[in-house]
Amino acid sequence: MQNSILTSRNIIQSKLSLPIFGFGSAHLGEMYNLVDEEISQKTLHGAWNAGIRYFDTAPWYGRGLAEHRLGGFLRTKPREEFIITTKVGRTLHRPSKVETFKREPWLGGLNFEVKFDYSYDGIMRSYEQALQRLSLDTIDALVIHDLDPLFHSPEEQTKHESDLESTGLKALKELKSAGDIKAFGMGINQKDSLAILAQRLPLDFALVAMPYTLLDQESLHDGMQKCLMNSTSVIIGAPFASGILATGSGNNSKYGYANASEELQLKVRQIEAVCKEHEVRLKAAALQFVLAHPAVVSTIPGAINVDQVTENIDCLESKIPEIFWKELKTKDLIAIDAPTPKE
């Protein structure tokens, strides 16, 4: 069945429905490239004019820059016509030493220090700061951000999990119960977090950045299956695996926000060969593959210009023959029992 960006799917344990295709704003925070202010606004206008109505952002993206840019655009639009999600767990503060402050890993962004805080007060402060940066008075859903061992020492991880479970979740439940948000979820970067931590929390959804893509289905029978069993919906946050499934193989290709290994590049070249044989774009395969999983309600690729927005939509809505997916399975390039789109 051919996809359309007008199609919506329900987050099962909430009153929120999401378009299957949204706009991820991490690139507006200037991760890999500086993004001119005028270009950032043209990109957002292009996304809106193309029909995109779901936008995702975070305080971390450019240390507040992405939220400022996105909010500056959306505040001019009728509030009932779009859906916006942002993240909690980080608060932003003026640097103690402004003159020597480093913005890494952001190439650009803003001069704000980041503090992790998953407590009740931290969640509420993060939420209130986001409202101000976005120039909006409502947010549709909040996402617990980067509570992964990837970002914290074992001691910090234990403390943050304890803070979240003892008081932080209370804040999110209060906001949802009051109708200030319609749902809350958790951002996931690692398969173990998806399989363990996300499953013991009362989440409406998981925003999965890396553990389920055209390149990696290790979570298929673990975290993704548990989400399906627990009625936890899934949003795929990095359908292009942070770069390589958009750019293709090459010396500068990125995977997991770092340079792609030769092993991964070889696998992508093999997928590219099957794409060429069946006249399928790699980006189209990446987008449509993740949406075929029954737990997935939406995917939110990023874009840094209007052309990328238009191309992403075209890739989402293009037709891919079933024989293409069968060949990927035959050549052991995707899991043999991975859900794939039907014609």
Average pLDDT over residues 42-59: 97
Average pLDDT over residues 218-235: 97
Give per-residue pLDDT as tens, 93-112. 999 999 999 999 999 999 99
Give per-residue pLDDT as tens, 110-168. 999 999 999 999 999 999 999 999 999 999 999 999 999 989 999 999 999 999 999 99
Give per-residue pLDDT as tens, 205-225. 999 999 999 999 999 999 999
Active site includes 56?
A: yes
Active site includes 61?
A: yes
Average pLDDT over residues 264-288: 96
Active site includes 87?
A: yes
Q: Which of 87, 176, 226, 254 is catalytic?
A: 87
Tokens encoding 35: 């993004």
Q: Which of 54, 56, 140, 283 is catalytic?
A: 56
Average pLDDT over residues 175-192: 97
Let me know how long the chain is.
343
CATH architecture observed for domain 8-330: Alpha-Beta Barrel (3.20)
Query: Is 255 exposed, middle or buried, given 0-12, 13-18 or 19+ CB atoms closer than 10 A?
Result: buried
Residue 343 has a pLDDT of: 64
Question: pLDDT category, 258, cuts 50, 70, 90?
Answer: confident
With b for 16 or more beta-carbon neighbours within 10 A and e for fewer, the 103-124 pattern comes to beebeebbebeeebbbbbebbb
Token pair 């295709």 is found at 21
Residue 334 has a pLDDT of: 98
Nearest to 307 by CA among 74, 39, 75: 39
Residue 21 has a pLDDT of: 97
Give per-residue pLDDT as tens, 326-340. 999 999 999 999 999
How many beta carbons lie within 10 A of that of residue 257, not counting itself? 16
pTM score > 0.85 for this model? Answer: yes
Mean pLDDT estimate for the chain: 95
Examine the pLDDT at 33 and tell me if it is beyond 90. no
Examine the pLDDT at 15 and tell me if it is beyond 80. yes
Residue 257 near residue 250, CB atoms below 8 Å: no
How many beta carbons lie within 10 A of that of residue 229, not counting itself? 10
Residue 2 has a pLDDT of: 67
Q: Which of 54, 61, 120, 127 is catalytic?
A: 61
Average pLDDT over residues 183-197: 96
Q: Domain locations in the chain?
A: 8-330
Question: pLDDT category, 1, cuts 50, 70, 90?
Answer: low
